[in-house]
Amino acid sequence: MKKILGLVLSTSMLFYVSLANADKAVLAGGCFWCMESDFEKLPGVTDVVSGFTGGTLENPTYRGNHQGHYEAVEITYDAKQVSYQQILDHYWVNIDPFDGRGQFCDKGESYLSAVFVANEQERALAEKSKQAVIAEFPKQKVVTPILDSSTFYPIKGAESYHQDYYKNSPLRYKAYRWNCGRDQRLKEIWGDRATHG
């Protein structure tokens, strides 16, 4: 019994240690259903949570007040499998960096794109990746900002159906994504580098 208990405790400790060692990235790219879908398919990503960030209002909700906040995702990833740079590379080819009114069919401040950075190292990598996009498209204005991270509010409670929406309501999700023109626009900008969620 002691051996079993010891095994359970050591396994639990390993689980918590691995969680403690996990890195997080917060990105806004319009519809968080689509961002969840796009990032959960990236090897090394262990979890993607939909929510709000960037505003000063506490506890924003989807149907209620989320003024000043971006729809965003908090991405948990194993840095031994995927780097922050690779997260950024995947991000850019899954957004329209030129749209200052929102993303694809979703318009308004909560649908704007943004990279939220937690420290100077992330900021340097994010700024460098943005400069690479600017250099690739010299005739277009890249409007996606690099912003300091702020409190991330996961969608919860009665609105929890937004989490993993693409898995739980696949037909509705696919219809929304197609009708929104997301993949068509991504292919137009990024060609074969665009991923399809």
The residues that are catalytic are 31
Distance between CA 37 and CA 47 in Å, rounded? Answer: 11
Measured from the Cβ of residue 80, the count of other Cβ atoms closer than 10 Å reads 9
Question: Could you tell me the two tokens for 151?
Answer: 């409190």
CA angle 79, 132, 45 (to 5 degrees): 20
The set of residues, in sequence order, having a beta carbon less than 8 Å from that of 36 and lying 6+ positions away, is 48, 49, 50, 73, 163, 164, 165, 166
Strands of 100-151 (E only): list them.
Answer: 102-103, 106-107, 113-117, 146-148
Sign of the dihedral through C-alpha 113, 118, 123, 129:
negative
What is residue 183's DSSP assignment? Answer: H
Residue type for position 137: F
Closest by alpha carbon to 156, among 12, 50, 71?
Answer: 50
